[in-house]
Amino acid sequence: DHGKTTLVDELLKQSGTFSSHQNVDERVMDSNAIEKERGITILSKNTAIDYEGVRINIIDTPGHADFGGEVERVLKMVDSVLLLVDAQEGVMPQTKFVVKKALSLGHRPIVVINKIDKPGGDPDRVVDEVFDLFAQMDATEEQLDFPVVYAAARDGYAKMSLSDENKDLTPLFQTILTEVPKPVGSDENGLQLQVFTLDYDNFIGKIGIARIFNGTISMGENVLLVKADGEKVKGRVSKLIGFKGMERFDIKTAGTGDIVAVAGFETIDVGDSLCDPTNPMPLDPMHIEEPTLSVTFAVNDSPLAGTEGKFVTSNKINERLAAEMNTNIAMNYEQIGE
């Protein structure tokens, strides 16, 4: 609603990540049918762009507290955040939730005042609102000294001052390059990688999407999976996948700061670490927020039973919920019998 996903589209286009012949959907990052239809982002998605020789990893997150499990994990995986605020609406209740999490993890947000082309917009007032919000949240001096970029993502331009001309997103790219700290860690160290979201493929099974905090990882390498409860499982990387634009492709090796997808571990879960087997140093497991809503599915015994949709039998619903459990860690599912 503040234009996060639309901004990612423009960053992809203007960094030259899409070639000119690729036909680009609007809001390419919203791949799920409900997301496309409602224009909201539920799941976090990641992509990467190359700009002036620098690889920028981008994770598009939901902005709502209902998807708290998603937001929190992603914030632990990044070195900085772009906080988008609507130039007219200003700080919204859901902004507070995300900001609180980001500040408490020590991030110094780059504030993007978006939709400055709206006739009722008042960007200066909104910057003050953001400052007041940060102050309420006990931000440090450094966090209160946040960089501000003014943008109209849909029209594909950004500027450092409202009096500058409307050109393209270069000012935002430059701000990202100068303000975002380089990843801490080094390729020389032992491997430390942490999974922040899951994917599932019928052929290769469970896939962990993860950030490498230290060391390097290679296709076919033997590594140690350390579960959140401390259990250790030896395994081999059967597939290593990199991201760029909307493409996913096999890669041979990746290093510190990269975001990759790893397959070959049946029990891999969010928060698990992959480590160097000779000297395993797992990262702290993540705490996932408990689900905010509970639902009981019961048999429909009304006279209209069976007419309300295509797959209405409990077996089908059970299959679908079980499939969701492969990748959705903010969900718990149990069968309670008849």
Percent above pLDDT 70 for the chain: 82
All residues at 6 or more sequence positions from 253 whose CB lies less than 8 Å from its CB, including other chains: 216, 217, 218, 219, 240
- Give the per-residue pLDDT at 320: 82
Tens of pLDDT, residues 145-166: 999 999 988 888 889 998 989 8
Percent above pLDDT 90 for the chain: 31
Domains for the chain: give ranges and CATH numbers.
Answer: 4-179 (3.40.50.300), 192-275 (2.40.30.10), 290-338 (no CATH)
Instruction: Round to whole Å and give the CA distance between 330 and 326.
Output: 11
Does pLDDT of 248 surpass 70?
yes
Does pTM surpass 0.85? no
- Give the per-residue pLDDT at 141: 94
Instruction: Round to whole Å and give the CA distance between 216 and 239.
Output: 15
Length of the chain: 338
- Give the per-residue pLDDT at 41: 45
Does pLDDT of 36 surpass 60?
no
- Give the per-residue pLDDT at 20: 47
Q: Of the segments 5-14, 72-81, 88-97, 217-226, which one has the largest average pLDDT value?
A: 217-226
Buried-exposed string 315-336: b where 16+ CB fall within 10 A, e elsewhere = eeeeeeeeeeeebbbbeeeeee
59-68, 183-192, 240-249: lowest mean pLDDT where?
Answer: 59-68
All residues at 6 or more sequence positions from 164 whose CB lies less than 8 Å from its CB, including other chains: 171
- Give the per-residue pLDDT at 29: 53
Does pLDDT of 262 surpass 90?
yes
At 291, is the pLDDT very low, low, confident or very high (cuts 50, 70, 90)?
Answer: low
Does pLDDT of 24 surpass 60?
no
- Give the three-state DSSP class for 263: strand
On average, the pLDDT of the chain sits at: 82
At 258, is the pLDDT very low, low, confident or very high (cuts 50, 70, 90)?
Answer: very high
**Residues 160/176, Cβ–Cβ less than 8 Å:** no
**Residues 209/300, Cβ–Cβ less than 8 Å:** no
At 289, is the pLDDT very low, low, confident or very high (cuts 50, 70, 90)?
Answer: low
- Give the per-residue pLDDT at 332: 77
Does pLDDT of 22 surpass 60?
no
At 136, is the pLDDT very low, low, confident or very high (cuts 50, 70, 90)?
Answer: very high
Does pLDDT of 122 surpass 70?
yes
Does pLDDT of 329 surpass 80?
no
Q: Using the 8-state DSSP alphabet, how is residue 260 labeled?
A: E
- Give the per-residue pLDDT at 58: 86
pLDDT average, residue stretch 176-195: 91
- Give the per-residue pLDDT at 336: 74
* Residue 84 in tokens: 């988008």
